[in-house]
Structure 1
Amino acid sequence: MAGGDRISDLPDDLLHRILYFAPVKEAASTSALARRWRSLWLSSGAVNLDTRSYHVPDDNLYGKRATFVRDAHAALDARDRHCPLRKLTFHVEGHGWDTIQVFLCISDDGLKDDIVGFVLSHRAARSVEELCVDAYVGRHPYEDRCESGYYDLSLASLPSMNLRRLRISSCASLKVLPASAPVAFPRLEELRLHFCTDVPLQDLQIVVDSAPHLAVLELHSVCLSSSENDVPGDAATHDGSPPPAKLRCAAVTALVMSDCTWTNWTGVELDAPMLRCFKYNGNFREPFALKPQEAANLTRVDMEYFSPDMYYYIENNTCACFWQCAASFSNARVLKLKTNQLEHLRHGPELNKMPFRDLERLELEAQYKPGRSKHTGAAIAHLLHCCPVIRELRLNLSTSTASEIKSYGYDGCYEQDVLAEKDQLDFNKSVNHFLRRRFKNPTMSCEVPDYIHGLTGQSFTCLQTSLRCVSLRFRRDESNRFGVRLAKFLAENALVLEEMHIDDGNQKIWEHINHVVGRSIAGSASGFVVLPLETRK
């Protein structure tokens, strides 16, 4: 009761904000707390429909569905009488694909009955500014997603006039239906599509063109489909392959493309003259392009790609596609790159092209094979050559084995589990060495080879004129000393370096303090300071 009194002491504006995020069933139940709470939930401006509020087993699915629809209708009627509805969300969770599809699309008499369409057709939904529809199996929104989606949705049926934020996920078919219906989103600022399996590019373009204020566009695991009108017969390239898909985003400043696919096209061509931040996650099987002159405002690029180490031609194609895409980002100031095949980056454009000529900060998180340090050094060398004015370099390097890379991609969680187990073993070993320090004088081999293929003996503009800060994270063991050699190389060759932050990636007490690197730093003419990675500003 005391806790309830303290909550009641909060001002109405704050309570409205709390109820703005509460599921409608729980929000409505607060009216029983006290007289003051009777109308608070009705004034929050939000209806959050969530199946997790209904603790009904799946064998009573239709009873749960009927209650859900009844509560949704009652909540919308109440909002229509009290205050305009600003936020409307659907959160549907089930134990199987058929359960969710039946819940969303089939009535108890076996006929097609669209819950989402029913709710959106309510008069109170016309004023909605934020709309979210999400459905998934299990307890995690990104696990066990259905490859074919659960429901169909017509973009023409959305409450478009006041809509500012739109998020749609797990949709089987997202189209402008009927095709003749005019679609206008005059206030739309954010559009996020997740796990949508059939999104015609032509229809997506209609929505983007009808939203003059659209600033954020996110496409996660979206399949962009085509029609006969999208790919004319005479549009094929000179080699006979299909043309690239073209997407115009006139006002978009932040664009995300993650694990997207497109049919009947070879890659995608982006027209986004106002773009400032771009994130791409994929396998680079097909190239994408963004003309440099159309990306004058681009400041940050995040690129993440993982590919299986299977065949030589796959490696060459991946490398060529990456550098072809990189040419689009020559104006970027910050580049964050993550890959499980660092060796793929060793081949690139001619050095006189300088694809990252304006880049000031490079963040590289990559895996490499210990037995292929020759290619790893060449890849890092090529990146340094391509960044002549870089001021800050952050490297997070880890080794990998074939068992740590799944057949068709890389599982980061699996890698974390493997490293955690190894780190615990290393820590136990270090404690044992520390406890036996009186009886055994610990020694460490300080003979670390200086030569790194691709790096040693080369001249890098950034190391001589611009590089001020280096952060280096790696895992050191007796069989792999590439990280130590790289730290030593940077310490000796970065002439204007001011700070170097080193983390060997484990919890050893003394064994991973490399005295060779320490002496190199102490004798360096640049006079920079070495700090633990955790103290980096």
Structure 2
Amino acid sequence: MAADRLSDLHDDLLQRILSLAPAREAAASAILSRRWRPLWRRTSGVNLDITPYLPAKGQDVSLRPSPLDAFFRDAVAALAAFPPRAALKRLTLYLVIDDAGGPYYGADDFEPQDDGRVAGLLAAHPAATAELEHLLIRCAYDSQKYGLPLASMPFAATLRVLELQLCNFQPPSAPSMAFPCLKDLRLRNCLFMEGYLQGMVDAAPVLTSLLLVNAAQKPLAPPDSADDIPTYCTLPLRLRCLTCTVLNLETFVQDQELEAFGHIGIQLDMPSLRSFRYEGHPVKLSLISPVPGLARVDLDASYHGGLSQSRRCEPMARMLTSFSTTRALKLNVSTMEDILDGEKEHGGIILPTFPNLNLLHLDVFYEHESGVTVLSMARLLRSCPAMSELRVMMWWNYNHEIQRENKDPATTPFAQSMDRFEKLASKPSSRCSISKVSQLPAVFTDNCALFSCLQTSLRKVTLKFNAKEIDCFQVQLAKFLAENAMVLEEMHIDDGSQFWPEHLCHKLTRWRDESFRKRNLPHTASFQVHQLNL
């Protein structure tokens, strides 16, 4: 056999590579050479994927046997072939359960399909799975949802990572269910009978990391307005885990759920929580117990798709109330106006103060400058009195320009560049000079002392934007921060590819020096400006 670069690798590395390949392909490597023959049997992982067993697109499957039969037959053989003295650490099982008329087919997609073959596979060779630590079971998104009897897992006592996707846990939680070593639980688009999810978490006494993507539950007793409520709902979600330190939550709701259960929302009792990430619709978030160790919150509630325009979602500021002790906060909002949303209805400021916050990262779509935009940014800065690092990413919302662009023939990149150049050339030289950037409104300039972070703590600023004109809010904000952040040490700037006489990053140092000189403040030689490279 001709030499190849793979064969130059050490056996341990080759075994690691084979452990990530589907079992059939890994086993096929045995024909490469005598050296390769035993390698796949020594791997610590087995991947059982039904995809190669599925019929080709457009092929008539009415006369063919179910691909599940051949798949499970080979899966059992693969586990049986695993060497007795080898330790199987990771098992991946990928199913497509859509064979009409087969044992996994049901008229109701929500009903769990189970003929015992998966449970039988997992229990067929207990010697091979005796030390299993990582189990991943996935179903295709367009298939039936498989009903997995967790209590029947013979290796539950050794599992450290459990990943389940599109499984249906409709039976009640089994009293014997126990995962004494489970630290990482990841559940994507799974369905539960009410109480089962809490039972799974309670069965894992050392659980530290939890991922829930659209965890939908079926209530034990139907609500009064059952005719309007989906069979499975992502709201309300009540969950308790005293050991969890990392929670990733993705929740997308329907109108009926928000109407019936929006006042409850998501209630979490996780006093050990250190990192929390949420993505989905703006819904009510509540922490039942204090979380003194909370270090990071990542909130993306910018999604409003699928909801009626009249539907009143939870204001972003109120979603943050329970997380005000965090030391780092990343916000992804649709517009700057979202930061002030709900203040009129609630009679005043609802954005909490973050006394421990060191880092604020803001991702926002920007449509046009307005007083609300300025006030929103001022509100954020005042809410972070101890902030040492600020990152602002303002992405231009081109959807806002669709109507104008439809009327404007300058739609190609070159035409748009020429259009910007001609607009600059037509302006007086004083307007083209970036030195003539306007000051921010009085809400900033007349109340600098109210921004505690500017006086004592803000040391690093990162700004990324693509402005439509020179004298815009983003440039004004950069100028304001350079002139008024007393202990600022560095700024990282990406101002886009504008046809400006000079880019913004070359002006900030001069603005700061001139401002400090006028106010008789000491010169800050340590201040530096860098072009941002992402």
TM-score normalised to structure 2 length: 0.78
State the distance in 2 between where 1:480 and 1:404 align.
19
State yes or no: 1:507 paired with 2:497: yes
Distance 1:443 1:18, change over 3 A: same
**Structure 1 residues without counterparts, runs of 5 or longer:** 137-144, 233-242, 406-420
Deviation readout 1:79-111 (Å, 9 max, x if unpaired): 264534321112346xxx845x7788259xxx9
Distance 1:27 1:288, change over 3 A: same
Query: What does residue 140 of structure 1 align with?
Result: none
State yes or no: 1:152 paired with 2:147: yes
Distance 1:492 1:432, change over 3 A: closer
Deviation readout 1:8-51 (Å, 9 max, x if unpaired): 34333222222211110011111212233332212213220123
How many equivalent residue pairs? 478
Q: Secondary structure at the residue paired with 1:152? A: coil
State yes or no: 1:399 paired with 2:403: no
Deviation readout 1:246-269 (Å, 9 max, x if unpaired): 311111110011125596642121
Query: What does residue 193 of structure 1 align with?
Result: 187
Amino acid of the residue matched to residue 78 of structure 1?
Answer: A
Distance 1:377 1:318, change over 3 A: farther
Amino acid of the residue matched to residue 153 of structure 1?
Answer: L
Distance 1:516 1:41, change over 3 A: closer
Distance 1:25 1:312, change over 3 A: closer
Query: What does residue 88 of structure 2 align with?
Result: 85
Query: What does residue 120 of structure 1 align with?
Result: 122
Quick check: 2:173–2:195 contact (8 Å CA) kept in 1? Answer: no
Bigger fraction of residues in helix: 1
Quick check: 2:440–2:477 contact (8 Å CA) kept in 1? Answer: no
| Of 76, 93, 98, the match for 2:79 | 76
State yes or no: 1:449 paired with 2:452: no
Quick check: 1:222–1:261 contact (8 Å CA) kept in 2? Answer: no
Q: Secondary structure at the residue paired with 1:71? A: helix
127-136 vs 204-213, which moves further: 127-136
Residue 76 of structure 1 and its aligned partner are, at CA, apart by 1.2
State the distance in 1 between where 2:430 and 2:377 align.
33
State the distance in 2 between where 1:426 and 1:482 align.
25
State the distance in 1 between where 2:414 and 2:49 align.
44
Q: Secondary structure at the residue paired with 1:370? A: coil
Q: Secondary structure at the residue paired with 2:320? A: helix
Distance 1:183 1:428, change over 3 A: same
Amino acid of the residue matched to residue 397 of structure 2?
Answer: S
Query: What does residue 231 of structure 2 align with?
Result: none
Query: What does residue 301 of structure 1 align with?
Result: 297
State the distance in 2 between where 1:98 and 1:362 align.
46
RMSD over aligned Cα, in angstroms? 3.9
Residue 203 of structure 1 and its aligned partner are, at CA, apart by 0.8
> Superposed, which structure 2 residues align to 1:57-456 within 5 Å?
57-58=56-57, 59=59, 60=61, 62=65, 64-79=67-82, 81=84, 83-92=86-95, 98=98, 105-106=104-105, 113=115, 115-124=117-126, 125-136=129-140, 145-146=141-142, 150-158=145-153, 159-171=155-167, 173-175=168-170, 177=171, 179-196=173-190, 198-228=191-221, 245-261=237-253, 265=261, 266-284=264-282, 286-291=283-288, 294-308=290-304, 317-319=313-315, 322-346=316-340, 355-371=353-369, 373-400=370-397, 424-425=413-414, 429=418, 444=432, 446=434, 447-452=436-441, 454-456=443-445
Residue 244 of structure 1 and its aligned partner are, at CA, apart by 5.9
Query: What does residue 139 of structure 1 align with?
Result: none
Deviation readout 1:93-131 (Å, 9 max, x if unpaired): 6xxx845x7788259xxx974553342232344542211
Percent of residue pairs identical:
34
Quick check: 2:93–2:136 contact (8 Å CA) kept in 1? Answer: yes
Quick check: 2:247–2:277 contact (8 Å CA) kept in 1? Answer: yes
State the distance in 1 between where 2:355 and 2:14 align.
51
State the distance in 2 between where 1:523 and 1:161 align.
67
Q: Secondary structure at the residue paired with 1:214? A: coil
Q: Secondary structure at the residue paired with 2:445? A: coil
State the distance in 2 between where 1:77 and 1:178 align.
32
325-334 vs 24-33, which moves further: 325-334
Q: Secondary structure at the residue paired with 2:195? A: helix
Query: What does residue 35 of structure 1 align with?
Result: 34
State yes or no: 1:466 paired with 2:457: yes
Q: Secondary structure at the residue paired with 2:444? A: coil
Residue 283 of structure 1 and its aligned partner are, at CA, apart by 2.0
State the distance in 2 between where 1:517 and 1:475 align.
17
Quick check: 1:166–1:190 contact (8 Å CA) kept in 2? Answer: yes
State the distance in 1 between where 2:8 and 2:211 align.
40
Residue 323 of structure 1 and its aligned partner are, at CA, apart by 2.5
Quick check: 2:432–2:470 contact (8 Å CA) kept in 1? Answer: no
Query: What does residue 520 of structure 2 align with?
Result: none
Residue 422 of structure 1 and its aligned partner are, at CA, apart by 7.9
